[in-house]
Amino acid sequence: MIKFIWPIYLIYLHTVDSTNQYVKRRNRYMRNWTIVWSMNQTKGKGLEKNYWNVEKGKNLTFSVFLKSINLALDKGYIINLLISNAIHKTLFFYNKNFWIKWPNDIIFMNKKIGGILTENSIYHRKIHRTIIGIGLNVNQMKFDENFQATSMKIIFNKNFKLEKLFYKLILSIQKEYLFFTSYGEVFVRNYYMNHLYRKNQISYFYNNKINKYIQGTIRNITKEGYLVIEENHNKKLYCFSTKEIKLIY
């Protein structure tokens, strides 16, 4: 049995619309490190209201509830970083070709295997509570052709025990949170930057600010979580929020 750093309070649901929505409706009564896990999430959402469609009983879809974290508003991106790191470290154990795609996806060989959605509550101009929704493709074999997706089973040609992988992920998240509280933002950023998908590689993006495709290279992320891209045509650095830029390839 895995020994956790902080006690967890697990709520298992056979079916739910969204684990994040479930937590939002009830978090007033929830304790720190409450985790809601469901085998059948019918209306899971990702970033920018994209839906996370999965087959019943074949993947991991769960939400982690944290409170009293007291992060400055401009440091909310750190939550995405540490959760991305935790998932990446868990999967990196199995294969070294997993990458973190800004801001919060996990990629294997240019295909998405996992994603994160964080929803924060503000109190006295600080992030006081956060709900972290996590989806990981595990034993599913078929995906919508419109999505470049993969799963653990497709990659490794074997079934994975969902419960075992679930508890590994929770422990990894707790470790990463401990690293952040002990060593600070730089520690978390360094790992994230070292495993950032397509960093220092020429890539194509769609720039929503000017409604056109651009060619550039990912160089960094700012201390507020914006993506820093060096445009190829003028070698200047530009910063983008998640709504302003989309990586094409």
Domain coordinates of the chain in residue numbers? Answer: 9-194, 202-247
Please give the Cα distance from 6 to 144 (Å, whole number).
Answer: 38
- In this structure, the number of other CB atoms found within 10 A of the CB of residue 204 comes to 13
Name 105's bridge partners.
Answer: 101, 115
Q: What's the pLDDT tens digit per position in 49-61?
A: 556 668 999 999 9
| Topology (CATH) of 202-247 | SH3 type barrels. (2.30.30)
User: Is residue 131 very low, low, confident or very high in pLDDT (cuts 50, 70, 90)?
Assistant: very high
The whole-number pLDDT of residue 19 equals 97
User: 91: pLDDT confidence band, cut at 50, 70 and 90?
Assistant: very high
- The letter for the amino acid at 184 is G
89-106 average pLDDT score: 97
Residue 44 confidence (pLDDT) = 72
Q: Is the dihedral of CA 196, 181, 47, 111 positive or negative?
A: positive
Averaged pLDDT, 175-184 = 96
pLDDT band at 8 (very low <50, low <70, confident <90, very high): very high
User: Per this entry, what is the length of the chain?
Assistant: 249
CATH code assigned to 9-194: 3.30.930.10
Average confidence score pLDDT of the chain: 94
Strands 202-207, 245-247: pairing is antiparallel
